[in-house]
Chain A
Amino acid sequence: MKLQKNTHLALCSVLEFAARPGAQLSAAEIAQKYRMSPHHLAKVLRSLGRAGLVRAARGAGGGYRFAGNTRRVTLMDVIGLFEDISAPKGGGRRAGRRAKAESGAAAFEVEDALGIVLAEIDEIAKATFRSITLETMLKLVARRRS
């Protein structure tokens, strides 16, 4: 499972907010820390807001606060907002390649078998993301720091 840039930005941002649950952080602050485009990040934060993971703070400076539950929200919950996790990647017969594969049944079978292996890898990745909560990630970050 290859994560898109937006997903990566979302994961970094959510962890940044979750590490300081009461604090109000601006998009500019996070963008600067992770060397991201503030414009790009603003779009990501709006998606996180719609999902109820962050809440826009009113008043001077604006910004966002964490609004989720660190013990319940998993990495997959965040990833699922930005990636199509329902569609199987590889595995089974891919329609787009069917015509080409018709010229050789052997090629088709090889592609099909490769698809099964790639789907297996994908399933392991998804299970890993589903098993890690934000709280667990914050502990991991703290361990790496110490």
Chain B
Amino acid sequence: MISLKNPAAARTATATVRVRGAQAADLEQIIEIDADITGLRKASYWGEILRRYGGARQQRFFLVADHGGRIEGYVVGDVRDWEFGSPACGWVFGVGVRPDARLAGIATQLLDAICDGFRRLGVGTVRTLLARDNHLVLSFFRSQGMMAAPFIALEKDLD
């Protein structure tokens, strides 16, 4: 756990956090982090994400922040080509950090790592999609320099 009480200590601790690909052994901790944040335990969903995005896959990324064996956070994303005419871009569709490890730059490290992966694939833009009332994560992405994209998310109820 990274203490938030001492920002200097938190910064030092961040230096020992290693971002790497997610493995099967990380799954339980990832499920626990997500359940802590969302209040929902989605074991089969994360199992499927690991199956599709885990390991070294060309356009898919499932990364974790490992702090001496304790998983502090994760990020998931992929490269999508020509969705509604948009040239290839990186998509981040999941990010989470343990509440007691926040404000230590872990999400920033995770986002930087996945963006490096996107860049290596020749992608120059990263996008995400969030609920309007998810102030915490919206503020995080804003703090990373993300701005409104030239798209509008739409939905309708299917009766």
Spell out A's residues near B (CB within 8 Å): 74, 123-124, 127-128, 130-133, 135-136, 139-140, 143
Task: Point out residues on B near A: beta carbons under 8 Å.
Answer: 132-133, 135, 138-139, 141-143, 145, 148
Question: Is the Cβ of A132 less than 8 Å from the Cβ of B142?
Answer: yes
CB pair A127 B143 closer than 8 Å: no
Q: If A133-B139, A135-B143, A139-B143 touch, does A127 touch B148 (CB 8 Å cutoff)?
A: no
**Extra inter-chain contacts (16) besides given A132-B139, A133-B143, A136-B142, CB under 8 Å:** A74-B139, A123-B132, A127-B132, A127-B138, A128-B148, A130-B135, A130-B138, A130-B139, A131-B139, A131-B141, A131-B142, A133-B142, A136-B139, A136-B143, A139-B145, A140-B145
Cβ contacts under 8 Å, B138 to chain A:
127, 130-131
- Chain B interface, DSSP helix/strand/loop, else mixed: helix
Are B132 and A124 in touch, CB under 8 angstroms?
A: yes
CA distance A133 to B145 in the complex (A): 12
Contact B135–A131 (Cβ < 8 Å): yes
* Chain B residue with Cβ nearest A137: B142
**Residues of chain B within 8 A of A124, CB atoms compared:** 132
Q: Could you give 28 example pairs across A and B, Cβ below 8 Å?
A: A74-B135, A74-B139, A123-B132, A124-B132, A127-B132, A127-B133, A127-B138, A128-B148, A130-B135, A130-B138, A130-B139, A131-B135, A131-B138, A131-B139, A131-B141, A131-B142, A132-B139, A132-B142, A133-B139, A133-B142, A133-B143, A135-B143, A136-B139, A136-B142, A139-B143, A139-B145, A140-B145, A143-B145
User: In the bound complex, how far is the Cα of B139 from the Cα of A88, in angstroms?
Assistant: 23
Give every chain B residue within 8 A of A136 (Cβ-Cβ): 139, 142-143
Query: Which residue in chain A gives the minimum CB-CB distance to B103?
Result: A71
Task: Tell me the complex Cα distance, A143–B144, Å.
Answer: 12
Residues of B within 8 A of A128 (CB): 148
Kindly provide the distance from the CB of A77 to the nearest chain B CB, expressed in whole angstroms: 11
**Inside 8 A of A139's CB, which chain B residues have their CB?**
143, 145
Question: Shortest beta-carbon distance, A138 to chain B, in Å?
Answer: 11
- B52 vs chain A, min Cβ distance (A): 29
**Complex interface: chain A residues within 8 A of B148 (CB):** 128
